[in-house]
Every structure is written in C-alpha cells, then in structure tokens.
Amino acid sequence: MARKISMKQAVNEALDQAMAADPTVICMGEDIVGGAGGNGEMDAWGGVLGVTKGLYAKHPKQMMDTPLSESAYIGAAIGAAACGMRPVAELMFIDFMGVCFDQIFNQAAKFKYMFGGKAETPVVIRCMVGAGFRAAAQHSQMLTPLFAHIPGLKVVCPSNAYDTKGLLIQSIRDNDPVIFCEHKNLYAHECEVPEASYTIPFGEANIVREGKHCTIVTYGLMVHRSLDAAAVLAKEGVEVEIVDLRTLSPLDMDTVLESVTKTGRLVCVDEASPRCNIATDISAQVCMHAFGALKAQIEMVTPPHTPVPFSPVLEDMYIPSAAQIATAVRKTIKGSK
Amino acid sequence: MARKISMKQAVNEALDQAMAADPTVICMGEDIVGGAGGNGEMDAWGGVLGVTKGLYAKHPKQMMDTPLSESAYIGAAIGAAACGMRPVAELMFIDFMGVCFDQIFNQAAKFKYMFGGKAETPVVIRCMVGAGFRAAAQHSQMLTPLFAHIPGLKVVCPSNAYDTKGLLIQSIRDNDPVIFCEHKNLYAHECEVPEASYTIPFGEANIVREGKHCTIVTYGLMVHRSLDAAAVLAKEGVEVEIVDLRTLSPLDMDTVLESVTKTGRLVCVDEASPRCNIATDISAQVCMHAFGALKAQIEMVTPPHTPVPFSPVLEDMYIPSAAQIATAVRKTIKGSK
Amino acid sequence: MQVQNPFPLSRDELLTVYRQMRTIREFEERLHIDFGRGDIPGFVHLYAGEEATAAGIMHHLNDGDRIASTHRGHGHCIAKGVDVVGMMKEIYGKKGGSCNGKGGSMHIADLSRGMMGANGILGAGGPLICGAALAAKYRNKGEVGICFFGDGASNQGTILESMNLAGVWNLPVIFVVENNGYAESTSRDYGTAVDSYVDRAAGFGLPGVTVDGTDFFAVHEAAGAVIKRAREGGGPSLLECKMVRYFGHFEGDAQTYRAPGELDDIRANHNCLKILGDQLTAAGIISQSELTKIDEEVMVLIEHSVKEAKAAPFPTLADLTTDVYINY
Amino acid sequence: MQVQNPFPLSRDELLTVYRQMRTIREFEERLHIDFGRGDIPGFVHLYAGEEATAAGIMHHLNDGDRIASTHRGHGHCIAKGVDVVGMMKEIYGKKGGSCNGKGGSMHIADLSRGMMGANGILGAGGPLICGAALAAKYRNKGEVGICFFGDGASNQGTILESMNLAGVWNLPVIFVVENNGYAESTSRDYGTAVDSYVDRAAGFGLPGVTVDGTDFFAVHEAAGAVIKRAREGGGPSLLECKMVRYFGHFEGDAQTYRAPGELDDIRANHNCLKILGDQLTAAGIISQSELTKIDEEVMVLIEHSVKEAKAAPFPTLADLTTDVYINY
Ligand SMILES: Cc1ncc(C[n+]2csc(CCOP(=O)(O)OP(=O)(O)O)c2C)c(N)n1
Ligand SMILES: Cc1ncc(C[n+]2csc(CCOP(=O)(O)OP(=O)(O)O)c2C)c(N)n1
Ligand SMILES: [Mg+2]
Ligand SMILES: [Mg+2]
C-alpha cells in the first residue's frame, strides 16, 4: 500500500466505491455536480472545493444537485433513508446547520427512539468544519459538540486520508444517522491509503503516538498540532501519548481511560469553542472515572470564547497552536495532587 | 415582601413592568396574545400556557402575534434589536430552535464581533425548557448546552420566581442577546417576589443551601431535586452546599471554585443530555482550576443519552431524581484521591 | 329492486370509508372524554371534524405510498391503516403501543403502513416526504408521498422549501393543506399573507386545487386526480382541503377565540360524517340501520382499545435506553 | 445651448450615480487582480456587472433606510455610502477596516449608514430586514428596509417565511431578487421551480415586478415606485432585477458551466456601466470626457484605498477577544 492520496481524494474514492457497491447510495448537495440546468459543462464544479469532482461521470443517477434549500434536501435525504435509500447529503459548511438543524436533531436522530425502535435512518451528512481558511465567523466553525450532544446521532471527524476513507465507507454502511466532519484544512494532507474498499469501526480511537508522561486526547486538525507539540516536548524528555478519537459519538472512553491510567496526566485539545465542548466532555468523564489515576489537573486547550475572526493574523492566534498545547502539557506535568 | 407569586406570574410581571418602563420593549411570538384575525375574543390565549395572558390589554402596541415562522420572526426580533428596539421574542419550546438557529447563533451572536464592535443586539429569546410534562421527545429537551457553547450568547435558566423576575428584567435591559430558559415544570412554583421592578446581575450564582461536605452545582428544576437530595443526606449527617448557577453564560466560576475549595467534593447535576453539557463543562473547569482542592472524583448526574421518552413512567426514570443525586453525593464522599 | 350506485366507490368500499371515518370520530371523542377525566398524559390534538380529508385521500393509497403527518395525526394514522389498539396503547404510554410507549400521541408512526410519523415540529414532514418520494422515484413503482400540514404550518420555511424542491426534482408528492381556519387560536387570515393556497402553489410552479374538505367525495375526486398525475410522473401538486376542527387546538383549549355560535354551526352544518351518511342514505344504496350498525361496532372497537390500553403494562427501566441507535 | 435633461435625476445626481457605479466596478476589478496575485485572503465574491441594481435602488435611500446584503455585498456597501478605504482595509484584514479586520469581505457592515451587513448565510437577511422594517414602523418616519438576495437564495426558507411575515405585518420592505442566472455553478432554471418571481411574490400576497437590472433607469424607476409605496404604508413588494455577473461565483471559479461565448456577450452587450454612459452621452447632457475624468478619479481612489489597506497595521492579540459581548 505505497500509494499516497490526499484526504480530499479519500473522500472522493470512498463515495465512488460506496456508490459502485450499492445503488441505494445516492449523494446530494449544492453544486456537488455543478453546471445543472446550464449550457456549459456538466460536472463543472464537483463541490465547492472540488471534492466530488468526477463522480457524476461515473454515477450519473446517484449524484444529485439541489436547490439552495438545506432544510428541504437534508430532510429529503433523511426521509429517503427512512424509505430504503442510503443517502449521503452534503451540508457544504457545518456552519449552515442553523438552517436545517431540526431535520437532523429532531427528526433523523429521534426516529428510532420515538417510533419504539421501528425505524432505521441510514443517512450520512458530510460537512466541512474548522478554521484556518480565512473564511470568517460563518464558515469556519467546528460545532462538533452541538452534534455530539444529541442522542441518536453519530459524529465522525477524521484526521487523515486513511481514516477518512475507512470511516466514510463505514458511515455509509452504518444504519444510524452519521454527521461526517471533514476538516477543510486537512483536504490536502496525504498519507498511504489502500485502493480497495475498507471500513474502520466506530468507537475505536487511534493512538497516533505512544508516550508515558502525559496523554493528549484530540481529533481532526488538532491531532497534527498535538504531534507537533509532542515533537518539541520529546526534545525536553517529555513523552506524550496522543489519542485521536476519530469518532466523537460513539466515544472510545476505554482507550482514553487506559492511556490516562498509564500516564496519569491529561490534556484535552479541541478546536471547538471552549464551553460544553469535546474537551470538557473528555475531561469530565476522566475526572469521574479515572480520578485516582490523575497525578495532576487536567488541562484543556481550545480557542477563546469568541467567534472565528477573519483577519489571518487573528485567525492564526485563534486556532490552538502547538506551542499552546506544549505549554499545557508542561503545566500538567508540573502540577500535582 | 410577603407576597408570593408563581414563576409564571413572575414572567408576566417582568414583561409588564419592562414594557411599561420602555416603549422600545416589544414582545412577539405565536399566540402570545391569541385570537388574532378572528371573530372571538382577543387575548384569547396569552401564550400556549397562559404566561403572557393579560399583557395585550395593557400594552396593545407592544404585544405582537406572529405567523408560524420562527426563522422569520425570531430573526425579525434580532433585526429590530440591531435597529434600536428591545424585542422579547418567544420561541415556544426550546426544541423548536432547529428551525431558526441560524438567526440566533450566526446572526445575533456574531454581529458585534463580525462588525468589529459596531453593533448592539439587545434581544431576548424566551423559551420553555425541560422534561416532565409528558410532552415527548420534541417538546421536552433542555438544550441549554447548545446555546452556552456559542460565543456571543448569554444563557439564563432560573429556578424560582424571584430569580425569574429579576433575571428577566435584567435580560431585557442587557445589551447582548440573551436566551432566557423557563422550565415548564417550575411555572407553578411560588415564592416571595417584590412587586417593584428589580434586576439580578448576570454571572452571579446563588448558594441556595450551605454545607461543608460536598458541593452540588446545578440550575433550573434540578436545584429542587438537589435540595430534596440534600434534605435526605442531612439526615445521614452529610451537609451539602448547593450552587444554583442561574446564568449558564456568563458562568460564575468564582463561586463554584470557592465552594469546591471549601468542600473538596463536587457533584454536577444537569437535566440536559449527558454529552458536552453544563455538567461536563463545570466538572472540567473545576478539574483544571481547583484540582488540588478535590478530595475525590467529580460525579455527574444527568439523564441517559437518549431522547426524552413519552410514557410517564419512562419520563420519570429519565429525569435525574433526588435519589440519584444523593447516590452520587455518597459516592464522591466515599471516594478519595 | 337494484339501486344504481351513483358514487365512484363500490358499496363495500363506501361502507369501509364510513367505518373508517366513524372510527376516527369515536377515537377522538373518546380521547376527549378520557383526557377530561385525567386518564391521558401530555398534549393531545384531536382530528374530529376533519375525517373526510384523511379518508378521501388515503382511499387512493397503498402501504407503499408514504404519508408525513402532523401533530394532529390520529386521523391520518387510522385512515392509513395503523392499528387502533396499538394507537390507543401508545397514547396511554403503554408497552405494545405503536411506538412501545416512547412516542405518544404526537409521534405515532408505522413505517410498514407507509405512515412516516405524526410530528411535533410544524412543517417537518415537507422535507421528509420529498425524501420518501425520491426513494419512490428510484424504486419506480409509481408510489407517491403525501405531506399533510395545517394552514398555520403552511408558513414554515420547511414546507415552502419543500414545494420548490419537489418542483425542481419533479417528485411524486402531494402537498395537502388542511385548512381548518386556525393555527392554535390565531385565524388563518392573520397568519397567511395570501388568500388562496392555489396562488401559493403557483409561486412554486405547482398546480393547486381547493376543495371542501368536509365532503368526502369532493376530496376523493380531487385527490384522485393529483395522485394519478403524480404516479404517472406528472410531478407534485397542492391540494387545499377546507375543513373544521371540532375540539380545541389541544385538549384543554377553551376556544374563546371563536365567534359566538361558531362551534354550534360547525357541528350542525359541517359534520363530515353526517354529510357522508346523508349522501349514502339519500342515494338509497346504504340504509341508516346499516350505518347505525357500523357505529355500534366502532363503539365496541374503541371501548376494546381503551380497555386494552388501560390493561397493558407500562414500559420498564430496561426500555428507557434501548432503541436510541441500531448499534453504538 | 442648454440641453434638456430627459432623465428623472439632475445632472449632478447623474454624475454621482455614474461615479458610484464606476467605483464599484473598479473596486471589484482591482480585487480580482489582487486576489490573483495572492494578496487577498478568504472567499471573495465580486459584484462587477451588477452595479446598476445597487445604484438604482440605493439612490432612493437615506441612512435611516436599512439594507440587508448578501455574500456578494461590496456593491451594496459602496452604493449605501460605506467608506471605500475602510472596506478595502477590511478585505485585507486590517485594523481600521469597516469591521476592524474581524469580518472580512463577507461581513462588511456599517449600521450608521443603514448597511446591516453582508452575510455569509444565504437568505439570512430576510428576517433581519423584517426586523429593521418593524423598527421603522415603530419610529414612524417613513423609513424602509431592502432585502437583497440572489436567485439561488430565493429558495431559502428564511426568505420565503420573511415574505409572508412582511405581508402579515404589512412591513415597509422591498425584497430584491438579484437574478444573475446562477447560484454558484447552477443555473437559476434548475434550482427555482417557478419561472417568474412575480408569481413567487403573488404566492405571498405581494405585488412583484421584473426589470432589466443592467439598466440603471429601469431599476431606478421600478424601485422608486415600490419604495414610495412602502414609505406610505402600502406594504411590502418584490422587485426582480435581471442581471449578469462578470466574474466567477467567487474568485478562483473557472466558470466552465457557462456556454461558450457567454461571458464575451455579457461584457460586450450587458455592461451596465457602458449602457449608462451611452445613455448619458447620447442625451447630450454629459460628455465622454467628463465620464473619463470620473473614471480617472475613481482609479486614483481605488489605488489609494489599496495603498492604505496594505499600509495599515494588522489587528493584535488584544483584539482577538474584544467585541464578543458588550459586557460579560
Ligand atoms: C416549528 C413549530 N412551531 C410551533 C409549534 C407549536 N404549534 C403546534 S401546533 C400549532 C398550530 C398549528 O396550526 P395548523 O398548522 O393550522 O394546524 P392545526 O393545529 O390547525 O391542525 C403550533 C403553533 C410547533 N409544534 N412547531
Ligand atoms: C445557507 C447557505 N447555504 C449555502 C451557502 C453557500 N453559497 C454561498 S453563495 C451561494 C450561491 C448563491 O447564489 P445566488 O443566491 O444566486 O447569489 P449569487 O452568488 O448569484 O449572487 C451558495 C450556495 C451559504 N452561504 N449559505
Ligand atoms: Mg389550522
Ligand atoms: Mg445568482
């Protein structure tokens, strides 16, 4: 498996293989094909950043452009899922969830429970997340905690191309509604990815670096910032263990607790706003279930409690940095009971 | 101040006094007057549970019924706020946020920041929260964490009539957007409330019971469940201190940290779903900022990670009980480093 | 002497329709009484008075056709073939109810009958039914989707977006406005800025038609045409059914927003069941005694359903945390 | 010899309008170049080609009149009187920008000029402008609100709900559809199920009118009528302006979805600035050299704004956490 592809290509390949394998898999979204109704090229866009480019040519019946009506088409994906299809709907930016959240959290997420178990809603909602694109306050949010909060939803946020492909295929095969979060600043990131179709199970975190002095729990882009911090810390003799959650719901607390039991220290890194986020979630669960193992306070590294600023200099300060993560690790290492 | 009124009356009185004091205060919502356009009585409803009944007669120009279009009228309240009014919009149940969340979290919450400080949006969004009304999965949610997560919003959730009146008047006078959460199962709850207008500042938690063995941090209906638990525990010789947060954003962490420093133990009680909620938020912050003071693990008491069930017997099991809270306190008291 | 049947339905079908409408009526009248007694928890929105619309539309449908219902869903459920005893158990919050007690009145669903759920969120059925219709298009068996919504909900963005989406994708969907003149206590004329739903439909390129929703045959005919059109690939349309609601918005509503005498007039002159009964007996193809016999049988069924519901066990702690995910 | 002015604007006003449109054009052409050079961060949506609409409408407005803009907001800003240097600084992410660098191209606002913000969320301006118009109604000074949105955004629930709300509350709002034929790469005809926005408006009880949005005088006249109506309490209406977009959806878009030759035709035959210039010179009231002089002055202004923007300091860490709340 020497072939390297980008996370963007991994998404494309996963969709391609899933559609080829199962005709009930259909993709829908704004300009995911492009050029509809016009006199120029069809497949003119392949999504706003070209992620789905080329899929229309291969699966013309399974690729649908939509009007600019997220409530209607995300809801339609959900309704179709309840009627035997396996739709993959693209919500271009997760920031747009505010115009269609009801369909996701009150409908898709609750059907099975409200209907006494007699419903399946195998829908996937793909969306771009995260800051660093100079896209300002309404196109740069993480918002994963809002979805992880909701019982009935599954939430996935991969950090690399390999996980992306395996988790996206799993999301499509999964019978529950899945929010699949793609970090726009990781699309170009490459790694080795098998050509054949494969899945990665939900609820299995990945230890991307082993270490014994402190555990970092994180996901998405922050995995890479944490790796950078770990490299700096290693030079200081501090060996950090990094847990990449991969799926935020379900959550692999076993791996987290095991790691913290080993290292005795924890830093939670989250690109989401600080209040009620994934970092507080992990911290709280560790403090409840592995308090005895903790040698010092748990540190959290998050952006400040502000919207995402536009100006590149401000945005760079907004996003948690490797330096901030390293500082947090040093702090908990200095801390004690 | 011997007069006792219910929380429902407290809301009504606060709105009444605020409208009387300031003609830019306007209320809007579905059937908050009632009978509009018909040939029967005007003011026929006063809101779905009669909370605003009678206000139309006193302030006919400041009370507006709306079409069933939450995005449009909640957004209109926000737009009017940006243009010099002080609207109080009612989102009947917080569960309906999914059809209008964009206006709240991408517009109202972000104007000031996105516009470089040059905007004020003094809007209040009142909504009913919480379970126990046999209203099932789409009319019983707490959802406070979803709003507390968002920078730019303030979130209030009072536990009694006195706080309700003072905090609602403060919300209306406040220059930032406020989500004002009224627990529907507390509407009938009575306490002494001054007749004159008064305000309670944001970010000041209330110690509703003093104690030295363990701190409970909570809000809304759970304050009362916690008090019940405390009464039981007191008989066992366990003196619990209960912190009623009152405002969830801003958060009075000083009071929380002080209390935990005194008692050394913490139980966070939240009626919201367990993942990324207010309980995890408080736990995590305490574990970061007062770890040294902790004598044992922090316990959290929340509903299970499920939608709210309809059946009364299930719903009663769903909502955290005094017994569950007492058990959590006993657990942390037995716990140690 | 053989009487000529002037109706587009056979005698048996007519009896079935009458029975269905009577079942809805008795179901609701009984809930009204039992709610008043404090037997029934939660919010309950009754469909009584509106039966002809549910029956007139659903007569054209099979289990493969999907409907998205509203908060006022009992009538849709019964007309779509959902089991009445299961429904009653559900409303009582019991095990063995349509949703095992987890959903209640506002969330009764039976996907096996094509009933995609009552819904506590106004307008939420619009997008969902577009999805059902899209799936039908892929299956290509001529199935359709029906989206019910009230005059109030007609102003929800979800419904409006869905009309456009259905047009863009040429989906086999019928948007049925159940116009009972009120949204809660607010008059339709206050909340909806346009007089005619046919104009509203035209704003999305959809053909629209308005009928008297208390006249079973009027609804049946109009629905038949738009459903046929949709089955044949002709695309979406809108059907406005003008109707009356007998009880309050929900149980407990004193209806003071109605004009004096309004309710009496409704019950006396706009009783869709009486209208149908009169049509059938006047045509001479069904006798009053046959109808009375059905009425009695329905009473027995409803009484039975209440007994069953009361006797059924409540769900238990073990049920609280199941059915959230298929696996987690 | 005194030439008769055949236009409804004075000579001075006409010069101002031309200058405004030229300013928008040069602002956008310059951003196009500078974006290509890598000088400008983020998503940038250019208004070039659509100037006559912004200018034709805004000529009727004062600072007390509010507008809600879109992601493609530069033209609205300039026509509403927002400072061009402040805008350029903002787009460069600099201190002293309209939003102190915190908003960027998609969020330029200036409430003091009645500009309620460009908006990154399609359709979000609909509800907001209803609120502005409601506030205007309370102030009772005849102020109006204008909601701009694209043909694509015309299918957002927020816009649709807002049309109904404006009708119900009889608000002084004009809904302006900027129909440039495309939403991103998708043709208007694919995404919008109705042919005419006048029909769409009628679906909400609103009068509607369609004009050639590249003809300043056509826009000016139509806008004048609906704005006057709104000021006088006549309520909301819809104005569709048919127009063309010169550049891609955003900078970086290769526009392969256009038919071959389409862009050439647009620039040659649908250039609203050239159309206006020709109308003015043909009428003989303004000479080509006067226009050229304005063109040159505008070039100087834009060059100046870019210099200022490049020279301005970036915000600092202290700015990161201010302006979230008024107090917290
Ligand atoms: C999004 C949303 N907003 C508000 C409500 C509260 N609500 C429930 S029913 C109702 C009135 C509905 O009126 P209409 O659509 O005419 O249906 P009807 O009750 O007359 O059958 C309202 C406002 C809701 N359930 N969902
Ligand atoms: C709610 C929402 N959905 C999608 C987008 C992404 N988006 C930005 S502009 C655009 C196309 C808008 O087309 P139109 O309304 O015609 O305006 P134009 O760009 O042609 O001026 C899209 C889909 C968005 N910003 N907001
Ligand atoms: Mg109604
Ligand atoms: Mg367009």
Residue C254 has pLDDT above 90, yes or no: yes
Together in a domain, A41 and A183: yes
Q: Is residue C4 part of a domain?
A: no
Question: Which residues, in sequence order, are bridge partners of residue C182?
Answer: C187
Contact A237, A269 (CB under 8 A): no
CA A150, A154, A160 angle in degrees (round to 5)?
130
Average pLDDT (C119-127) is 98
The structural domain count of chain A equals: 2
Together in a domain, B210 and B176: no
Question: What gap in Å lies between CA A196 and CA C296, rounded to an integer?
Answer: 65
Q: Is D168 an 8 Å CB contact of chain C?
A: yes
Together in a domain, B164 and B254: no
Q: Give the pair of three-digit tokens for residue B26.
A: 């306007």
Torsion sign, CA atoms B316, B318, B324, B329: negative
Question: What gap in Å lies between CA A195 and CA B236, rounded to an integer?
Answer: 64
Residues on chain A touching B292 (C-beta within 8 angstroms): 297, 336-337
CATH number of the structural domain spanning residue A325: 3.40.50.920
Together in a domain, A142 and A220: no
The structural domain count of chain C equals: 1
Q: Is A137 an 8 Å CB contact of chain D?
A: yes
Contact D104, D144 (CB under 8 A): no
pLDDT at position A1 is 54
Q: Give the pair of three-digit tokens for residue B279.
A: 């309980």
C314-323 pLDDT, tens digit per residue, is: 999 999 999 9
Question: What gap in Å lies between CA D73 and CA D43, rounded to an integer?
Answer: 12
Mean pLDDT taken over chain D: 97
Question: What gap in Å lies between CA D131 and CA D162, rounded to an integer?
Answer: 10
Question: What gap in Å lies between CA B137 and CA B141, rounded to an integer?
Answer: 7
Residues sharing a CB contact under 8 Å with residue C280, sequence separation 6 or more, in sequence order: C14, C18, C286, C291
Residue C2 has pLDDT above 80, yes or no: no
Q: Give the pair of three-digit tokens for residue C286.
A: 């069904």
Question: Which residues, in sequence order, are bridge partners of residue A156?
Answer: A180, A247
CATH number of the structural domain spanning residue A50: 3.40.50.970
* Ligand 2 center to D154 CA (angstroms): 10
Q: What φ, ψ does residue C128 adopt, rounded to 5°? A: -60, -40
Q: Give the pair of three-digit tokens for residue C115.
A: 């009933």
Cα of B106 to nearest chain A Cα, Å: 6
Contact D153, D192 (CB under 8 A): no
Residue in D122, D149, D156, D178 to alter for ligand 2 test, most ligand atoms within 8 A of Cβ: D122
D175-212 pLDDT, tens digit per residue, is: 999 999 999 999 999 999 999 999 999 999 999 999 99
Q: Is B281 an 8 Å CB contact of chain A?
A: yes
Together in a domain, A6 and A49: yes
Q: Give the pair of three-digit tokens for residue D72.
A: 């493609």
Residue at which a domain ends, from A172, A194, A216: A194
Q: Is B203 left (phi over 0), alpha (psi -120 to 50) or beta?
A: left
According to DSSP H, which parts of chain D are helical? 11-36, 51-58, 74-79, 84-91, 125-139, 157-168, 188-191, 197-202, 216-231, 262-269, 272-283, 288-311, 317-320
- C interface mutation test: which of D122, D156, D161, D189 has the most C CBs within 10 A? D161
Q: Give the pair of three-digit tokens for residue C96.
A: 């063995």
Question: What gap in Å lies between CA A148 and CA A157, rounded to an integer?
Answer: 11
Residue A2 has pLDDT above 90, yes or no: no
Question: What gap in Å lies between CA A77 and CA A86, rounded to an integer?
Answer: 8
Residues 306-325 of A with CB under 8 A from D: 306-307, 309-314, 317-318
Together in a domain, B118 and B157: yes
Q: Give the domain range for residue B283.
A: 206-334
Query: Measured between alpha carbons, how far is residue B123 from residues A96, B238, B250 in Å?
Result: 22, 43, 16
Question: What gap in Å lies between CA C184 and CA C249, rounded to an integer?
Answer: 5
Q: How far is CA C167 from the centre of its chain?
A: 24
Q: Give the pair of three-digit tokens for residue A185.
A: 């600043």
pLDDT at position A80 is 98
Contact A332, A265 (CB under 8 A): yes
DSSP string, B233-267: HHHTT--EEEEE-SEEES--HHHHHHHHHHHS-EE
pLDDT at position D1 is 55
Residues on chain B touching C261 (C-beta within 8 angstroms): none
Question: What gap in Å lies between CA D248 and CA D255, rounded to an integer?
Answer: 6
Question: What gap in Å lies between CA B49 and CA B33, rounded to an integer?
Answer: 11
Q: Is residue D322 part of a domain?
A: no
The three-state secondary structure class of D227 is helix
**CB-ligand 2 contact for A96 (6 Å cutoff):** yes
Residues sharing a CB contact under 8 Å with residue C80, sequence separation 6 or more, in sequence order: C58, C61, C67, C110, C113, C114, C115
Together in a domain, A13 and A157: yes
Together in a domain, B311 and B214: yes
Contact D49, D246 (CB under 8 A): yes
pLDDT band at B329 (very low <50, low <70, confident <90, very high): very high
Is there a contact between C184 and B30 if contact means CB atoms under 8 Å apart?
yes
Q: Is residue B73 part of a domain?
A: yes
Q: Is D241 left (phi over 0), alpha (psi -120 to 50) or beta?
A: beta
D40-60 pLDDT, tens digit per residue, is: 999 999 999 999 999 999 999
Q: Is residue D266 part of a domain?
A: yes
pLDDT at position B1 is 54
Q: Is A152 an 8 Å CB contact of chain B?
A: yes
Is there a contact between D123 and A99 if contact means CB atoms under 8 Å apart?
yes
Cα of C279 to nearest chain D Cα, Å: 36
Question: What gap in Å lies between CA A229 and CA A325, rounded to an integer?
Answer: 6
* Ligand 2 center to D156 CA (angstroms): 10
Q: Residue by residue, what is the 3-state secondary structure of chain C?
A: CCCCCCCCCCHHHHHHHHHHHHHHHHHHHHHHHHHHCCCCCCCCCCCCCCHHHHHHHHCCCCCCCEEECCCCCHHHHHHCCCCHHHHHHHHCCCCCCCCCCCCCHHHCCEHHHCECCCCCCCCCHHHHHHHHHHHHHHHCCCCCEEEEEECCHHHCHHHHHHHHHHHHCCCCEEEEEEECCEECCEEHHHHCCCCCHHHHHHCCCCCEEEEECCCHHHHHHHHHHHHHHHHCCCCCEEEEEECCCCCCCCCCCCCCCCCCCHHHHHHHHCCHHHHHHHHHHHCCCCCHHHHHHHHHHHHHHHHHHHHHHHHCCCCCHHHHCCCCCCCC
Average pLDDT (A160-178) is 98
pLDDT > 70 fraction of chain A, expressed in percent and rounded? 100
Secondary structure letter of residue D124 according to DSSP: T
Measured by CA distance, the residue closest to atom 12 of ligand 1 is C183
Contact C61, C140 (CB under 8 A): no
Q: Is residue C37 part of a domain?
A: yes
Average pLDDT (B150-156) is 98
- A interface mutation test: which of C111, C121, C128 has the most A CBs within 10 A? C128
Secondary structure letter of residue B17 according to DSSP: H
pLDDT band at A336 (very low <50, low <70, confident <90, very high): confident
Together in a domain, A26 and A64: yes
A39-60 pLDDT, tens digit per residue, is: 999 899 999 999 999 999 999 9
Q: Is residue C327 part of a domain?
A: no
Together in a domain, B56 and B155: yes
According to DSSP H, which parts of chain A are helical? 7-21, 55-58, 70-81, 101, 111-114, 144-148, 161-173, 221-235, 253-263, 278-289, 312-318, 322-334
HSE toward the beta carbon, residue A131, CA cutoff 13 A: 30
Contact C173, C239 (CB under 8 A): no
Q: Is residue B199 part of a domain?
A: no
Q: Is residue D326 part of a domain?
A: no
Give the other-Cβ count within 10 Å of D275's Cβ.
18
Give the other-Cβ count within 10 Å of D232's Cβ.
10
Contact B10, B162 (CB under 8 A): yes
pLDDT > 90 fraction of chain B, expressed in percent and rounded? 98
B290-305 pLDDT, tens digit per residue, is: 999 999 999 999 999 9
Q: Is residue A200 part of a domain?
A: no
Residues sharing a CB contact under 8 Å with residue C303, sequence separation 6 or more, in sequence order: none
The three-state secondary structure class of D177 is strand
pLDDT at position C1 is 55
Residues on chain D touching A96 (C-beta within 8 angstroms): 121
Residue at which a domain ends, from A169, A194, A219: A194
Together in a domain, A178 and A103: yes
A84-96 pLDDT, tens digit per residue, is: 999 999 999 999 9
Q: Give the pair of three-digit tokens for residue C110.
A: 């039976």
D246-285 pLDDT, tens digit per residue, is: 999 999 999 999 999 999 999 999 999 999 999 999 999 9
CATH number of the structural domain spanning residue D32: 3.40.50.970
Question: What gap in Å lies between CA B7 and CA B191, rounded to an integer?
Answer: 8
Q: Is residue D177 part of a domain?
A: yes
Average pLDDT (C165-176) is 98
Atom of ligand 1 nearest to the CA of C121: 26
Q: Give the pair of three-digit tokens for residue C302.
A: 């409803």
Q: Is residue A135 part of a domain?
A: yes
Question: Which residues, in sequence order, are bridge partners of residue A89?
Answer: A28, A125
Q: Is residue B34 part of a domain?
A: yes
Q: Give the pair of three-digit tokens for residue D7.
A: 């236009």
Q: Give the domain range for residue C115.
A: 11-313
**CB-ligand 2 contact for D194 (6 Å cutoff):** no
Q: Is residue C138 part of a domain?
A: yes
User: For B114, which residue in chain D has the nearest alpha carbon?
Assistant: D103
Cα of B325 to nearest chain C Cα, Å: 18
Contact B122, B86 (CB under 8 A): yes
- The residues of B annotated with a catalytic role in the active site are 139
Average pLDDT (B187-198) is 98
Q: Give the pair of three-digit tokens for residue B326.
A: 């007492």
Q: Is residue B210 part of a domain?
A: yes
- The residues of A annotated with a catalytic role in the active site are 139
Is there a contact between D131 and B115 if contact means CB atoms under 8 Å apart?
no
**CB-ligand 1 contact for B30 (6 Å cutoff):** yes
Cis peptide before B122 (omega within 30 of 0): no
Overall size of chain B counted in residues: 337
Together in a domain, A256 and A185: no
Ligand nearest to the CA of D53: 2
Mean pLDDT taken over chain A: 97
pLDDT at position B336 is 86
- The residue type of A323 is A
Q: Is residue B183 part of a domain?
A: yes
